[in-house]
Structure 1
Amino acid sequence: MKAMNKQEFLAALQAGLNGLPRGDIQHWVEFYREMVEDRMEDGMSEEEAVAALGPVRDLVAQILSETPLPRLVHEKVKPKRPMKAWEIILLVLGSPVWVPLACAAVLVLLAGYAVLWACIITLYAVDLTAALGGLAGLVGSLLLASSGELAARVFLLGAGLACLGLAVLLFFVFNQISVWILRLSKKALLALKFRFVQKEAV
């Protein structure tokens, strides 16, 4: 891949951020311009300073991950020019169609987010149930200590220890599953944000 100079890098970065508000684009372009210039002052060549920052697409992804989705949506739907009278009339007349559709889209996104968190909560609820069952088994075996029912005590003790062991195992398994779910949701949100960016970074 051909090494980029500072101007090529900044142009690619600006193109990749084209869906953001103009002020945000200017902020990030100036931010990375200063980073390149600082590295050049430290003795790097222009191409080396640019390469040290990493691929433009990775930088765009990092910036988008820090940008709230409503900010991108607002910039996307904001008119680029003053609306004409007939456009306003059409917008008002079409509101019975596009307003419910927009609300439905928002609700679908919120529902998907809620489902992800519901999955995580459910996993830990199962783990907590196993732990409580284990504790109940241990307590039950202690309560039967004076009853002389050895078989029942052994059963409750074994069941309690088994449930506690299962709870410990499930805790680590569910932790990994939760991390995977959160990473998946983060990637999905980032992919959605990329859809609001008009051009991809080179």
Structure 2
Amino acid sequence: MNKQEFLYQLKEGLIRLDEVEKSQFIHYYDELIEDYLEDGASEEEAVEKLGKPSVIASKILEDAFEEGDFQPRKKVSPLIVVLLILGFPLWGSLLIALIAMILSAYIVIWCLPFSTGVFAVVGLVASVFSMFASIFAMQDGIHVAVTQLGFGVMVLGLAILSGIATINMANYFINISRKFSNKVLHLIRVKELLL
């Protein structure tokens, strides 16, 4: 883990503190890392000496709670609970519609690498069959066998290109999906902490 990742994770862990206190802690740990770097340690070594940012953040929050810097989570009022229950037909259907839209977007996005992957597999099988069948096409003439072999090689090349495209698209879509999922989980955590 490098310095930026450490400071980012520490900042995320200190989400319940106000911005001034949070920036003071970030600045303090930034200076500590810089001191270790001046002493000849690499970024990874300096960060490792400090420990895990989640542990540091929980210790800071625990100390702040003991000093009374912030209050524990507020209890949800019964009125809010009643309103949530009574409003479920409205917000529940909207939530289900949102989830269905997100799932359909994932399905549409993943159709492209699935299609190219299927073409790669089918093209590979068809090219092997076509090249093998060119031996039997010799009885119809050498020009038919060469044409059959040429088509087999061409389809093999297209299958290989399709396989490469499938791998690249799948990696790209996996990264996008991972980032999107992390943002959604981050939003859920932030809402959870605010309640």
Identify whether the pair has TM-score above 0.5, normalized to the shorter chain: yes
CA distance in 1, matches of 2:93, 2:135: 61
Change (3 A) 1:173 1:117: closer
Deviation per CA, 1:128-172, whole angstroms, max 9, x where unpaired? Answer: 222122123213212223x24222211111100111122223322
TM-score, length of structure 1 as denominator length: 0.56
Q: 1:1-202 maps to which residues of 2 (within 5 A)?
A: 15-17=11-13, 47-48=34-35, 52-53=46-47, 80-145=73-138, 147-198=139-190
The Cα RMSD (Å) is: 3.7
CA distance in 2, matches of 1:126, 1:48: 56
Change (3 A) 1:133 1:17: same
2:110 is paired with a residue whose SS is helix
4+ runs of 1 displaced by more than 4 Å?
Answer: 12-15
Tell whether the 8 Å contact from 1:135 to 1:160 is kept in structure 2 after alignment.
yes
CA distance in 2, matches of 1:113, 1:48: 46
Q: Structure 2: state its 5+ residue gaps.
A: 17-28, 38-42, 55-72
State the 1:192 CA deviation. Answer: 2.6
Q: Structure 1: state its 5+ residue gaps.
A: 4-8, 21-35, 37-44, 61-79
CA distance in 2, matches of 1:189, 1:172: 26
CA distance in 2, matches of 1:167, 1:194: 40
1:108 is paired with a residue whose SS is helix
1:87 is paired with a residue whose SS is helix
CA distance in 2, matches of 1:127, 1:17: 45
State the 1:197 CA deviation. Answer: 4.9
2:188 is paired with a residue whose SS is coil
Deviation per CA, 1:99-145, whole angstroms, max 9, x where unpaired? Answer: 11111222223333333433322221121222122123213212223
State the 1:13 CA deviation. Answer: 5.1
The higher-RCO structure (CA 8 Å, 6+ apart) is 1
TM-score, length of structure 2 as denominator length: 0.58
State the 1:93 CA deviation. Answer: 1.8
Q: Which amino acid aligns with 1:163?
A: V
- The structure that is helix-richer by fraction is 2
User: How many residues are paired up?
Assistant: 145
